[in-house]
Amino acid sequence: MRGDYMRDDIARILLTEEMIQKRVKELGEQLSKDYAECGDDVMLVCILKGAVMFFSDLARAVSIPLQIDFMGISSYGNEQKTSGIVRITKDIDASITGKHVIIAEDIMDSGLTLKHLTKLLSSRNPASLKTCCLLDKPKRRECDITPDYYGFVIPNEFVVGYGLDYMGIYRNLPFVGVLKPSVYSE
């Protein structure tokens, strides 16, 4: 059956739906505490498309007033390794000057995407700028950056689900899993 094929392509589940939901709630509580004094000027920016699931769960786990906005970037094409070139396909609508900006991203891998993005957004003079990544793959880092907040440190394996894709597919899986190697070689 067509509906089962996505799950059949997963070698093993790394993070279950329950693990993710529990951790995202904790991150939301942490942000609510850390930004409690920032009034109405806190903005959570979703990096499209990979962060969309994480972002929408995280935003609802934050109990303080939160502005939301979206930024589209493309750094991967359809490949598994980063090109280092970040193209902005959709910019943030609002001004971020004077705001406490938190970038919500799916994963920090080489770090090149967020390095580039934080440099770009800093130049717009936000009151503060932090990164919040669901996943961190520190072994793959190619520049000096670490997420300010992260959900899980994961091993150096290519994962899909909960927003993360391979060739545009698997984003709607509710868990994070490792793809079977046969999927790449087909």
Q: Is 177 exposed, middle or buried (0-12, 13-18, 19+ CB in 10 A)?
A: buried
Does 165 qualify as catalytic in the annotation? no
If binding is defined by CB under 6 A, does position 177 make contact with ligand IMP?
no
Which range of residues in 4-12, 17-25, 32-40, 157-165 is near ligand IMP by CB under 6 A? 157-165
> With CB cut-offs between 5 and 8 Å by kind, which of Mg ion, ligand IMP, none does residue 131 bind?
none
Neighbours of 163 (CB within 10 A): 27
> How far apart (Å, rounded) are the C-alpha atoms in residues 139 and 121?
26
What one-character DSSP code corresponds to residue 10?
E
Task: Specify the residue, 62 or 73, whose C-beta has the smaller distance to Mg ion.
Answer: 73
Which range of residues in 1-9, 15-23, 54-62, 101-109 is near ligand IMP by CB under 6 A? 101-109
Site string for ligand IMP, 59-88 (x = CB under 6 A): ----------------xx-----x------
If binding is defined by CB under 6 A, does position 10 make contact with ligand IMP?
no
Q: Are 93 and 86 in contact (CB under 8 A)?
A: no
Q: Are 152 and 158 in contact (CB under 8 A)?
A: no
